Amino acid sequence: MSGRVAGVERIAVLRANAIGDFLLAVPALEALKAAYPDAGLTLLGLPWHAGFLAGRPGPVDEVIALPPVTGVSTAEDGHAAPDGLYEELRGRAFDLAVQIHGGGRYSNPFVRRLGARTTAGLRTPDAEELDRWLPYTDHHHETLRFLQVAALVGAGAGRLEPRVAVTARDREELAAALGEPPAGLVAVHPGARDPRRRWPARRFAEVADRLGRPVVVTGSAAERELVAEVVAAMRRPATAVAGTLGLGGLAALYERCDLVVGNDTGPRHLAAAVGTPTVAVYWCANLITFGPLSRTWHRPLISWTTTCPACGADGVDPRGERCPHDLPWVSDVPVGSVLEQAEDLLAMKGRDRHGC
């Protein structure tokens, strides 16, 4: 069953995870808002969503920051929904609840308990059914997967690549922290939550040096040592920005860059969403699910490593057990390939700026 749901005034969408995960869902959120323009769209997310999206133009009208609930808003075991949560959410009288938060083992029962007239989302074979659902399949790009869920309730695809507005507040945060960024700035982001996705720091340093541009090296507070390692390995001066900016300030910084070079990580998605060209190192299986959908301004460099460099464990089977080693799996991507794509994008950016 598909097609628009009649009489929808309030929509809840469950997507309670990190910045990259949210940005991959933005095209589906935009599609839902376009299909139901008079309905209020509530994102069931995390506290960071509430802070980042407050006052920011976009499809989300309201954020409800969920407390820790195992499989829904945290991966940690032992967090049951607190007393009164479902009653509070049912009090919102949602007409439509959409689950774009995974295969549904935990999230589908959560969504069903919201009491919405119609539920829609994804489902693995071991998950509860929703009123309208699609099978959750492996090796499927997340943005396209979520747009297919939106189509279950009559929402047609619009933009495929997410965009995020940069606000005056973001630019003020950047100015207060770093002042006026120099022209021609390139950002390097060497971190990634999964250590296996991290290209070696010295290679980022070599690329940054050979580009001959002003360079800022970005990272979270937890990545200060990694950021410092890249800066120390460079022959040219660079500015370290680790844990200095919130997501809004980071968006404003990337907006001022001519290019962002990094790994497969949320900040790469953020840079692309504010309109900045990106070059990123991807492990092959992750590229299928999380990579950029276009290649004009976004260039992934692909590692074809399929087994652990330490023990040979298979990494391609999505249901396989993860080995304990955290060595990089992407070291086979050469500096020359990253540099070639970076220089090409910078040349294109220069021609575009001058109308050539």
Asked if domains 10-152 and 168-353 share a fold, the reply is yes
Confidence of residue 354 (pLDDT cuts 50, 70, 90): low
Q: Would the pLDDT of 180 be above 90?
A: yes
Q: Would the pLDDT of 356 be above 60?
A: no
CA distance 61 to 311: 48
In the chain, the percentage of residues whose pLDDT exceeds 70 is 99
168-178 and 247-255 helices cross at what angle (nearest 10)?
Answer: 90
Q: What is the mean pLDDT of residues 258-279?
A: 98
**Residue 146: Cβ within 10 Å count:** 26
CA distance 177 to 15: 30
Lowest mean pLDDT segment, chosen from 80-84, 117-121, 317-321, 332-336: 317-321
CA distance 192 to 75: 18
Cβ proximity of 237 and 153 under 8 Å:
no
Cβ proximity of 50 and 63 under 8 Å:
yes
Q: Would the pLDDT of 124 be above 60?
A: yes
pLDDT per residue as tens digits for the range 223-239: 999 999 999 999 999 99
Q: What is the mean pLDDT of residues 76-87?
A: 96
Q: Name the residue among 206, 160, 189 with its Cα closest to residue 257.
A: 189
Q: What is the mean pLDDT of residues 35-58?
A: 98
pLDDT per residue as tens digits for the range 98-111: 999 999 999 999 99
Instruction: Map tokens 């070639």 to a residue.
Output: 340
CA distance 343 to 154: 42
Q: Would the pLDDT of 158 be above 90?
A: no
pLDDT per residue as tens digits for the range 232-266: 999 999 999 999 999 999 999 999 999 999 999 99
Cβ proximity of 248 and 267 under 8 Å:
no
CA distance 260 to 185: 9
Confidence of residue 320 (pLDDT cuts 50, 70, 90): confident
266-273 and 247-255 helices cross at what angle (nearest 10)?
Answer: 50
Indicate the class that CATH gives domain 10-152: alpha beta
Specify the CATH number for 168-353; select among 3.40.50.620, 3.40.50.150, 3.40.50.2000, 3.40.50.2300: 3.40.50.2000
pLDDT score for 319: 84
Query: Phi/psi of residue 242, each to 5°?
Result: -125, 110
CA distance 85 to 114: 10
Mean residue pLDDT across the chain: 96
Instruction: Map tokens 């749901």 to a residue.
Output: 5
Q: Would the pLDDT of 353 be above 80?
A: no
Q: What is the mean pLDDT of residues 7-20?
A: 98
Kindly report each contact of residues 64-69 with a partner whose C-beta sits within 8 Å and lies 24 or more positions away, as own/partner. Answer: 64/89, 66/16, 69/106, 69/110
Domain borders along the chain are 10-152, 168-353
Strands (E) across the chain are located at: 10-14, 40-45, 62-65, 96-99, 118-123, 132-135, 186-189, 215-219, 239-242, 259-263, 278-283, 298-303
CA distance 146 to 144: 5
Q: Name the residue among 255, 243, 246, 244 with its Cα closest to residue 165.
A: 255
Task: Tokens for 300, please give them.
Answer: 């992934």
Q: Name the residue among 45, 37, 85 with its Cα closest to residue 62.
A: 45
Instruction: Map tokens 């050539």 to a residue.
Output: 356
Using DSSP, state whether 32 is helix, strand or coil: helix
pLDDT score for 2: 76
Q: What is the mean pLDDT of residues 169-182?
A: 97
pLDDT score for 351: 84
- Spell out the residues 6+ positions from residue 5 whose beta carbon is closer than 8 angstroms to its own: 95, 96, 117, 118, 153, 154
Confidence of residue 72 (pLDDT cuts 50, 70, 90): very high
pLDDT score for 311: 94
pLDDT per residue as tens digits for the range 125-151: 999 999 999 999 999 999 999 999 999
Task: Tokens for 49, please give them.
Answer: 């969503």
Q: For 197, which DSSP code?
A: G
pLDDT score for 317: 87
